[in-house]
Chain A
């Protein structure tokens, strides 16, 4: 008896889904846009439009990005704080190009190894393109602190670590003065 009720529930849900799909791709498109955060959340950050993190993960929250945007806009505190934050420590990476690479099993791939796999990284090891980011530094780098900021020098390239979401990525920057 219980089983039959469950089946009936599934059927109700099923018929509803069909209707929801028929009525609106609109809602779905809306949920994905705007905030610029991918539906995957967590480690997947969308920045600058043409950028990506090539790894998909399950969502960890039922709250949609639309809700977050709505709350941020509604709340004066947050706007004030975001602006303060932008002024203070953004700018450098406003158009940062997230180009993290993962191998077929989801492990982050170091610069040299990724060059053979991923499009757009063919310039490879000696002088990396400004603004590109990698999940791991190539070997043989030295880390120095310049003006309180950490940099890694690898050959003629300088990298600065950032948190992209909760993952540290290394972005190619100009040599610090």
Chain B
């Protein structure tokens, strides 16, 4: 097998050298760029994005691995289980159980509460009237990037596909036993991969984000399970502080 790959690689490399050496082609930069965006990949992404926009209520359960860089570029992988319940346009609840923290986010359309269940601290902030704008606000004000925010934005009708500089269709892959389209995307500061169900519900089942602005290229990996008819009690979106909980403030991100 290896013996076959090496000549294939050399031929391909040679081919790319020949192509790039062809003078008249070199001015055709726009053509190069469009060829880096694969139509099949964009179709799969578009189907996913359009399907997410049809959702009004959903719960995502995810198992997350995230690289942390410690001690001169050594990578340590931290784990978390996140559960996010969304009722568009203005209700959200999330529980993030991680290695160091166990957090809850509660949003009722008017305020968002962050509660640390171990330290028993909570903070409340007034918010815009929709889930998507609230996620914008907490990121801009407090530097908080919400878990699985990308798919929540997509469900709230936001186009996240405009920054793509290259997209490739890798092939079919099974995630959790479900056949998926595996798509790889490049953006200026991240590369990401998404595995999209190959059926009438084109939901993302796995997400990998590689951060390119950091020299060690740390990765974030999330395996997702979707419940599109979750049993949600309205109390879920209301925070009642436990008697021993202490209210604190968010530190604002300043320029």
Contact = CB atoms under 8 A, between A and B. Distances in A.
Interface of A: 2-4, 6-9, 11-13, 15-17, 19-20, 27-28, 31-32, 34-42, 44-49, 55-65, 67-69, 71-72, 75, 77-78, 81-82, 84-86, 89-90, 92-96, 98, 102, 104-106, 143, 145, 148-150, 160-169, 171
A42 B16 CA distance: 40
Contacts of A72: 136-137, 140
B84 to A, nearest CB: 12
B43 interface: no
Interface in B200-235: 209-211, 213-214, 216, 218-220
Interface of B: 5, 8-9, 12-13, 16, 20, 29, 32-33, 35-36, 38, 66-71, 76, 101, 103, 114, 116, 119, 121, 123, 125-129, 133, 136-137, 139-150, 153, 160, 163, 165-166, 168, 170-171, 184-190, 192, 209-211, 213-214, 216, 218-220, 246-255
Contact of B136 (A20, A71, A143, A171): A71
- Tell which of A4, A56, A77, A162 has the most Cβ of chain B within 10 Å: A56
- Tell which of B29, B142, B184 has the most Cβ of chain A within 10 Å: B142
A55 B248 contact: no
B246 A104 contact: no
Nearest to B216: A56
Nearest to A42: B145
Given A7-B8, A13-B166, A81-B127, A59 B209 contact: yes
A66 B8 CA distance: 41
A166 B69 contact: no
A44 B214 CA distance: 13
Contact of A12 (B36, B67, B188, B252): B36
- Pairs of residues from A and B, 8 with the lowest C-beta to C-beta distance, nearest first: A58-B218, A41-B145, A45-B143, A56-B69, A104-B71, A58-B220, A162-B251, A106-B70
